[in-house]
Structure 1
Amino acid sequence: MKQELSKTTTTSNKIIIPLPLTDLNTYINKERGHRQAAAKVKKQMTYICACYIKRAMSHGVNFSTPCRIKFTWIIPNKKKDPDNIAFAKKFIFDGMMEAGFIENDNLNYIEGFSDYFIVDKDEESRVIVEVEYD
């Protein structure tokens, strides 16, 4: 994956983040168990995303804002609901801000987003983040 990430981010304007990231159900269970446990998960996931975003930035990836974002989630099976998986975009947007990739993730910078899912057990699980064009 690391070799693929370097190769991909140097030839296109995409951020690639390996999965899994924490899904919505897991996060809710942490939140119910202990509020600090959920805060710890959020901090960890945001840090992981920020690291991959910084790496992409070092390869010249940038998004002009305001923009629409396209998330392509490559997953091995259909066991988890799409909304549970796509919840991880919260960590990705927060990671973008932490990395200095975007100034803010409000509507002045992010006009919207779309989620696409590809089920492929032979592919490495990941999310591809890119600008969405009409």
Structure 2
Amino acid sequence: MAPQDLGTKLTALVVDDNRISRKIHQKLLNSVGIMKNQGVGNGKEAVDIHCYGQSFDLILMDMDMPIMNGIEATKILRSMGICSMIVGVSSRSMESEIQEFMEAGLDDYQVKPLTNAKLKSILDKIKPNFTFK
């Protein structure tokens, strides 16, 4: 498989209650070749989608959401045995808040807004040979 084909093989879930942020992150994923991506509006929806059998290589998880926040959702996903790379993407910058989110089971944390450079650093951890489109 050629390196540029790796992006088309990756799947991603964007979990964010802000519709605009969710769409921006999905477009960013599309722009680097991750065409199989989906968005949901809260942590409960992220848990539910996994309960119905879907799985993803990458989950971009917001911290502050109604119904179920990112910390709760991450803990539940990990307790379900979900091994996807879960990256917290939030505007929170206090070390104690980030630490609490990381301890929930995150693999990485990025401060919003997500950029190509931040996404590349995430993808390098999943697929070191990933080539941006």
Same fold (TM over 0.5): no
Structure number with higher relative contact order (C-alpha < 8 Å, ≥ 6 residues apart): 1
The normalised TM-score by structure 2 is 0.30
State which structure, 1 or 2, has the greater radius of gyration over its C-alpha atoms.
1
Higher strand share: 1
